[in-house]
Amino acid sequence: MMNFDYVRPANVADAIAAASEKGAAYLASGTNLLDLMKGGVCRPSRLVDVTRLPGLDRIERLADGSLRIGALVRNAYLAHDAEFAYAYPAVAEALLSGASAQLRNAATVGGNLLQRTRCAYFYDVGSACNKRWPGAGCDALKGENRLHAVLGWSEGCIATHPSDFCVPLVALDTVVEIEGKDGRRELPLEALHRLPGDAPSRETELERGDLIVALRLPAQAKDFAAHARYIKVRERTSYAFAVVSAAATLRITDGKIGEARLALGGVAAKPWRAREAEQILAGASPDAALYREAARAALADAKPSGDNTFKIELAQRIVVRALSLAAAGTPARIPALPGSPFSSVAGA
């Protein structure tokens, strides 16, 4: 690990000023960043510790019915907030299906949004990777790539975004609050992450020095609480990133789907909102044939990026499963194996 400066600013303005220098990186819990530094994947010359910035560790219920979550709120704390889990069950289920309990206790919601891909070639500094070194090439294209992207990928990069948390957040139109050199701005979470195109190293719309200070779930997100699920297929249930995942939330009135929200994880370089599928679901009576039609629409543009053709069919099946479980109703308790298709509905 190379030598670096360590700065612990007292306020957001000082943090932004310190992080605006070339080579600087923000440090919260460091559950991803420190691993990258130890492996030589990421080599910041300055760490700006934001863990003690005031006001960023709060959950606030605002007057307009929306929920504001400070970027330093811990994943576990948010997931176990009873009022939060009741209002946004798919988000709580996604949080509890990610990482280990120890990591959830440390990791922050802001850091979760910005975690880097788990592509093995990105982590291996001896491999060519356009994310690490623009123009180097992508060894994943002809390497071990069964877990790579089937949507939105390019010849420059076929990696996927690893977050569980982001998938239901994108489905529920979450907004990201950002502080930067030019003041505060807001961005839909769906627009935060970029597809690789010909510039895979530019992963988000953040500019140098930008700091995510909060997420905001709109008031309408609570309308889906009665019919909301997150389903994740992983290679080991105890602790693994998604092969594919899906968040399905429905508003059902008089036996009809009034509105549907659907997003997928593990299939692209960003959480993937399936808007065409949502349009198919809206106004229809929920049944298996409808779910299959929606699933086909959600993956209509999918194509394998290597040895991962199976992910397209798997993703369709997980969409069907997520919609079926959401339509059946949110369980009264989060399942014992959150997010797992093998969990019992009763929970524990």
pLDDT of residue 26: 98
Instruction: Tell me: pLDDT of 342 over 90.
Output: no
Q: pLDDT, tens digit, for every residue of 290-321?
A: 999 999 999 999 999 999 999 999 999 999 99
Q: Where in the chain is the domain with CATH 3.30.43.10?
A: 1-51
Question: According to CATH, what is the number of the domain 225-328?
Answer: 3.30.390.50
- What are the tokens at 41? 């994947």
The CATH class of the 1-51 domain is alpha beta
Q: Count of CB atoms within 10 A of residue 111's CB?
A: 23
Q: pLDDT, tens digit, for every residue of 88-98?
A: 999 999 999 99
Q: pLDDT, tens digit, for every residue of 138-178?
A: 999 999 999 999 999 999 999 999 999 999 999 999 999 99
Cα–Cα nearest to 188, from 203, 204, 201, 200 = 204
The DSSP annotation for 159-200 comes to -----STHHHHHHTT-EEEEEETTEEEEEEHHHHBPP-TT-T
Q: Where in the chain is the domain with CATH 3.30.390.50?
A: 225-328
Which single residue is written with the structure tokens 């009034």? Answer: 258
State pTM to two decimals.
0.97
pLDDT of residue 238: 82
pLDDT of residue 348: 38
pLDDT of residue 1: 75
Beta bridge partners of 178: 185, 212
d(CA 210, CA 110): 12
Average pLDDT, the chain: 96
**Residues 306, 145: contact at Cβ < 8 Å?**
yes
